[in-house]
Amino acid sequence: MTTQAPAMRDQIAAQSVIEELLRQQQAVPPRSRFARFWGYSPLAADSVAWYLGAQGEIEVGKILGRLPPEWRVFHALPIGKAGADIDHLVLGAGGIFTINTKHHRGKKIWIAERSFLVNGQKQPYLRNSIFETTRVTKILRERIPQLPAAQAVIALVSPGQITIKKKPDTVNVLDANHLRRWLLKRPIVLAETDLVELAAIVDAPPTWPTPALPRTPNLMAKFASLDVDVRTARTRRTVWKLLSIGTATVLAVLVGLPLLSRAVEGFITNL
């Protein structure tokens, strides 16, 4: 008996990222009671970037979920070797969009025609986005030759500052908060009949490369549990930090008052 592969529409936002995060966390030993008490993070050092990436893709997934029903949204589509995937693929009257999510909370983003810097460090985001959109265009035009080319988008989640020296020619870089409105303002290039046919092609697993690893069962439940642990640990660290500051302040006052009192007495005596 042959098991039918799940449709691509069943993929959830950040699915590939969460799967890799959970795989890495399998090698992390459970925290001790001491570590939990003091708020040590359950994340391994190498897992932090995957965790933040998952948060970013989930946030963009929520934004895309607020598009009108005639828009079709797919997540975590396999596109190459070594687990590479398209974060989000959006189909609408305005065209075909590959959306690459980048979560850089509070960081400075600087963009030029061929350069993308995060806090002064060059990143390959433009090159990667162009590769993804070129690959998607090729895959879909093999089925529907007259399709317009896919458009590349980089959606930035919670950036501190975005400076665009010169807009890249073939990649649209946006704050994720503006993504929905930007998509809805695109000029119409696809009819509803085209979208129905296109969505069926995208939804079919044979359209895409076979994922390198099988799906993780109970994926979101496992991620939700890890997420609670991460947030709880962060809260505990914050509480302990505030208590430390408060204790240091009280000690400073207790030590400082006698010294101040003696200084005042000496001043009065010398009058």
Q: Domain map of the chain by residue range?
A: 8-233
Whether the Cβ atoms of residue 98 and residue 132 lie closer than 8 Å to each other: yes
pLDDT at 49: 96
Q: What is the chain's alpha carbon radius of gyration, rounded to the nearest angstrom? A: 25
Task: Write the pLDDT tens digit of every residue in 232-249.
Answer: 999 999 998 888 787 777
What is the reported pTM?
Answer: 0.88
- 3-state DSSP call for residue 245? helix
Confidence of residue 1 (pLDDT cuts 50, 70, 90): very low
pLDDT at 260 over 60: no
DSSP string for residues in 82-144: TT-EEEEEEEETTEEEEEEEEE-TT-EEEE-SS-EEETTEE--HHHHHHHHHHHHHHHHHTT-
- 3-state DSSP call for residue 157? strand
